[in-house]
Amino acid sequence: MLEKQQLRREIQARRGARGRADQAADPVARTGRSGVTENLIAVATGIGATRVACFVGVRGEPDTAGFLAWAHTTGVDVLLPRSLADGSLEWALHVPGNLGTGAFGIPEPQGPAVVGGSATVDLIFVPAAAVDVTGGRLGWGRGFYDRELARIAALGAASPAVFAVVWESEILAAVPREPHDVPVHGAVTEETVHHFG
């Protein structure tokens, strides 16, 4: 879908600029990192999550490292994804200092896969290019997370809460959607937590 591709390009350009500011230790970027961490923690503690699926922020994405450190020190288990050749995700327990480079140059956890993966958690934080105020999520076009969220829904059990992690400027009035796109329950930004629906 051409509209999705154009929007992704625009967001990638903005994130590239943000990433350069972050590398230069820009005070606004530092504030953004701490705000994201505080809001991720607020969502996790707000629902009493003991096991969370998350991701490692890269390439201008909101930084999840502070949240991962907090979870480790407070005893909250975090599962991180590994991208498989068939387009699916598998999940392994996050152990600090035990990340390797996986598909697409993204840091991935080492160690055995967790049986049931993200279906065993209370809360899932997913990456996104943008989300809209109805919970529509624009991913990066490979479909890994849409397939994962559809897989969890197909299990028929109570699904975990799903929050996209984006910058406040990436909360839009509407994002283009296709039938396979799976909506999210909310979004976490550097400024606040959004709840949809």
Amino acid in the structure at residue 157: A
Q: With 0-12 CB in 10 A as exposed, 13-18 as middle and 19+ as buried, what is 183?
A: middle
pLDDT at 25 over 60: no
- Place 23 in a pLDDT band, splitting at 50, 70 and 90: low
Question: Which of 35, 102, 111 minimizes the C-alpha distance to 78?
Answer: 111
**70: Cα separation from own chain's centroid:** 16
Over range 51-63, report the average pLDDT. 92
Could you read off the pLDDT of 136-180 as tens digits, one per residue? 999 887 889 989 888 888 876 678 999 999 999 999 999 988 888
Cα 184 to Cα 134: distance, rounded to the nearest angstrom? 9
Could you read off the pLDDT of 87-100 as tens digits, one per residue? 889 999 999 888 88
Strands, E assignment, the chain: 51-53, 77-83, 89-93, 99-101, 107-109, 123-127, 130-132, 137-138, 161-165, 171-172, 186-188, 193-195
| Structural domains in the chain, sorted by start | 2-195 (3.40.50.10420)
- What is the reported pLDDT for 17? 77
- What is the reported pLDDT for 56? 94
- What is the reported pLDDT for 31? 45
Calculate the average pLDDT of the chain.
Answer: 88
- This prediction has a pTM of 0.89
Could you read off the pLDDT of 99-109 as tens digits, one per residue? 888 878 888 99
- What is the reported pLDDT for 3? 84
Residue 164 tokens read as: 């996209």
DSSP letters, 60-74, are: TSPP-HHHHHHHHHH
